[in-house]
Amino acid sequence: MSTSPTPARQAFGDIAPVLADYTDQVLFAMSQPDSVDINEILFRPTTQEY
């Protein structure tokens, strides 16, 4: 298995969310009380190079 960065990671490494960003949001959604309904979680980077 190669440990070198993939082309996607090389291109978007500075702006792409990391795994911890996703897991934090999923855990937040799962920890809400039964009276809260979360229908959708949308992940988008907050920066973009033009």
Note the pTM of the prediction, 2 decimals: 0.54
Q: Give the other-Cβ count within 10 Å of 17's Cβ.
A: 14
Per-residue pLDDT, 43: 82
C-alpha to C-alpha distance for 34 and 50, rounded to whole angstroms: 42
Per-residue pLDDT, 31: 95
C-alpha to C-alpha distance for 15 and 28, rounded to whole angstroms: 22
Nearest to 29 by CA among 18, 20, 39: 39
pLDDT tens for 4-47 read 767 766 666 666 667 888 899 899 999 999 999 999 988 877 77
